[in-house]
Structure 1
């Protein structure tokens, strides 16, 4: 960034013949960049440049072309390079530079030629610039492993060439191999202790992969020191280095202090740069400093009045401060110019926030939020995993969107058998993308846990929360949600423990109604109804319980008391009074709730609770009348209809009216989700033919939903129409839309004893290039396990063992990846790994290969130490081999986990008999 120093150094070499042309170009560029350009000097240099160009030799032409290429002046660079190639008679250097020009110009016809030129140049021997170009060619083609092979070749031939190590590190990350990436970063730092790319990579690894904020912060501090030493005047670099960290740190104040320092340094070096001022505004938003953010966005607008990003930032601040009219006017203005600037995800998001704050219809808000996600993910297409990807993914922004979606989801988990809100599925898929890329982002893991909890997947919620709390034991919100999870599992002791832990880390949580709500629900479960009533009455008297916008301060951040939490306290109190035999008090609280929440989206939860109260008092007719009055445009309409249907089926045994509730739902709110509910309703009342018809309609609306296609197949099987089920599965698989149905088809064929056809289906499903996606690996494991079952039934035991061995190898990869990418899947995947090993052991026992059998039963127990079947079989094998001590030990372990296990008791009796010498 020091223009004067660069001019001084360029002046000292401008008379050197081989670099004279490019030096003059650089001097002209530098003069134009300086605050007060010397126009006479520029004119003189320009004249000399035109003169020297006529007689320039090949080296001078080469360096001039190289300089222009770095400047982005591709056409001008091409003129010099072509001339240089003519002068040198097709020299290698010119050919390589021409290839680089072709590769980076963005034109497909040129890119194809680049590889040919690189290969031609490499026929004359290894050239680092040509090899690097060839690696870049493979990278452009997204063949990262091909690029990595070339880079390894460079390192083998030029072991001290630092750029090759940097390229290798980035390619390993593009291949999603963090371990190798970090190993290369360490090697780089041994050769170059202040290497900025390697220090940044280590910091990103601590932050994104490990979620270790303190280590990431320390490395970020080292990065700033290295920048100060190496690039003290490079404003662009200071700003660039901050971006990925600020967007992936989950708003950690520790990290944001560093990123703010970096951007502030950039602005101090170039205080006329509107982009740096805009970024400082965003840094303030991330820290919750809205007034300061607004100040910076206004500074940016002063520096560049056409800055769309600065104006967007101002609108964001206005929305946070509740200045809705101003925000709306500015958004309308931006909308008009959006045609010329292209679609922006952030702009759509601000429209959605405005629509929510103005209480627009849910459908309108959802359409806007869906649009935000489509636009956002479209901008990521084709980007490999890397620093740029972290910036563009902007997990912080995605979590904001998810929180908006969740505000429309039911506050309580779906009850067993009830289909969860489709919004939850949508949220889960976005969050899984975030966690797969940034597994260290605890807020994302926490939100997955919340989504899983609300979807009724309690085990998955538990796994994710356990991961969060292992890394951050003081995460109060996670303890609070964990308490709810334990409550759902009827584990009141652990629930109370979680509440105490939550309180010990954040004493102000006592001001939050959710804390008292969970405590009361625990007391209710333990039969302490009077205590629960006292707890809930205390919650009702909390400051802000009657003010929707209230929040209570805690450790510098606010705990928001939203309407759904407030209404939950009222409804839980109604239920507690009812259980305590106090119908009059319950009715009074319901009336209070009606008055409190009338005209709000939560009003319908009160109506549904009122209907429950009427049912409890035996007034089914009144309950139905209340629920009938709920209209489709109101939130909770689906829940009201489900409740009505439930009443008809349970209390009136009226199947026709039960199904009619769901038909009405489809008529009023036609969607794949409501059709799915209707189909499930028909299956509930044993009418699979009607269910199939409805599922097929749903599939047309949502052809990519795997559960729908599977439900159709299962409904056909229920009607015993096996041939039609087989035809359906085969057609779906043939069309290539529903490959996952291969498993269902093969399983059906196996049940019908059509083993050869089942084997053929699975062999076709497994006939593909090696896969790296976690979901594809899991799918292949399921195929191999089922194939092994089929081979067993065909009595092809060797083939069965081969399939199981392949399944075991794949499952090893799945477990390694799931620990990081899909935590909630780990328990089930460990269970599957144990079953695969136990199955191999079973076959080994049948073949009298006892050593192998013991080895695999032991491995099964490593994956799942409570696998009683494996323990028992291991005990029997030890007994068969006369290893009495090992057998005894295994039986003790088994009886510890299952005291009444008859088989273990029998084996122990046999041991006693043997020991007594009978």
Structure 2
């Protein structure tokens, strides 16, 4: 607060003596309230005025002052109510300038600038405003208008004209004010206001000249220096001159308040070390000042955030462990210092705001037990002051964060539910008591609902409940495009394509020139799901034509091209991005490397894909996706149907996966994600990839645990099915896969759905249930027209049914979508005797060409196989020689 000047302190003491001697003298209490208000003690002033009005509800001037105090606190609705009450008891107050001033400010805050100007002009026209004078009311009591109130009317009118873009009128009123208050203490206020007006005109030199004319021995010197500091920082961009203004204030008056201003100035330009030094000096002079203790705590945290450790010092140590220990030691020391300051402040005062800052720091340090104790000790009074109710929402949100980070998800939802209910009550009160605060409070209510939606989606897999919470969030903040996009994404995953499209269109309408990439990409996804493949791809092409290096759009287009059977079109988009970025820079562009890696992976070039993803994972934006893809390649480099056995006899199973699995395990340790189940899933998949029964049993336990926590989670159900297959419990595996078949397909889990359909088709093929298998394979191709495995299984079924022409057609498609790639695939050594699946695929293709009497095609394929595998079993005898003989005949 502001430093109480000696005159106010003396007046306060005199009035206190009078009220003690004559408690019923309301004029003394009214003046005491005015002194408290001028001293910065708004709550004390309100209490004193309420006491006056309890004794005499017709005391009009007390109503007026109470309205002024409420308005100063930003509570404009309460101020308006006080004005109405004042007028109902004393209609003469309409002739009081203060009444018009308060009304004008309320009008301005509600956006009625023209009406505010009219009201202020009426105030200026009243006697005693333009020139000091006094008048008698009906009771013969002399009424005098305070000079500060007269000044406020002039300045409010200047501000209103400026807000209404009436610069000439504002300048005229300012000129009148300079004449009216020349030679008075308020003259300095006019100079400061004139400087502000000059800044709005862009005349920085005049503003600084006007402020420099105020000397240290004149009133409002501190305010002038603060205004100069603001100009130096925001208009001159000069940090040295900015801090020098506050240093001069401290030099002139080294009070705690001046030190607080200087410390805050250092904090605003991110120099927390200097701020701490200033705060500590002030704290030594006033050890009981809880605000200073809190400021030091905040500054220490800022030091930790911005400086952390001298990087060059740490890099001098080659050993990573030593670096980490040094960093931890430094960070720990800083944070312990901050905690000490906060705890000291809490002992000296019961301010909940400091308690919450301490809790935030403890959560950051992962000291959850102590953070919970600190938060549970906070005072709670939702029915009391509005600020207290707002603090209760903050407390509950911190508890929710704490529970989320400590894995107590049911407690997290309880805390969020309480926060939502508390914030709903806060909103009702804000609408009545403080309308200006309503928008940010509504945004907070929306964010709470959004967090509840995310919780339902992430931890309970309850899409419908999440949709309800997002809808509730949009009731509070209907223009939040992020909320609208999150809701659209949920609609898409739930298969409600029309609702998704409506939300995306609403976002695009709201965005400038329909420029919202996320909404445009989701519209393309909707079109793809509606089987409008070319329209969906066209949507992405439009985005990339404007910005070829929009890698998020490019990555999603590559996925879409693959699903649409047009993966061959990808290189041209990669080339466009390369041209935009520049060939020399593109190798360092993580987004480009990720997209290229995705393309290489889909083309069956696992080694090249891993190289690309390895480059991309160094970038924070692409790290999570790249690492996950690398892990999945290590687990299944040739994209075989894990758990499938239909081709086992033909393709063999002699592959040594030891190196790839150990690489996957190492990468999982580096993997960081916000999804609490993803790391567990990958651990389970590593166990499944070994294809050993004991490991499969351990994997099954992991998948069962995830499935219990997250209902209908497709990856976990698929993991259970694969585990059952390896454990030779086929009926159980089939039951789990049938569950997935009945579920709504989602783009996020597209690979898991495809794997499940292929595995169930494999089981049906083994049981000779070819029709049921073909239905599942059609489902695969419906969602991914490049699914090589679906074509291969289809060819296998046709072969079994002796439909060799159809089999050849399917195998031809399978070979085409395997990108005619080398027979030797995978990241690690493959035993020479192992028959590679793609070589086997070519053998089948050649064999079926022979059966279909396409002898020349059979010979071409046979030569391609022999080029990479000269010793391929029976190929020359069974296919090449027979095809040649048929041609001769």
| Fold match by TM threshold 0.5 | no
Give the TM interval when normalised to the shorter protein: 0.3 to 0.5
Greater relative contact order structure (CA < 8 Å, 6+ sep): 2
TM-score where L is the length of structure 2? 0.43
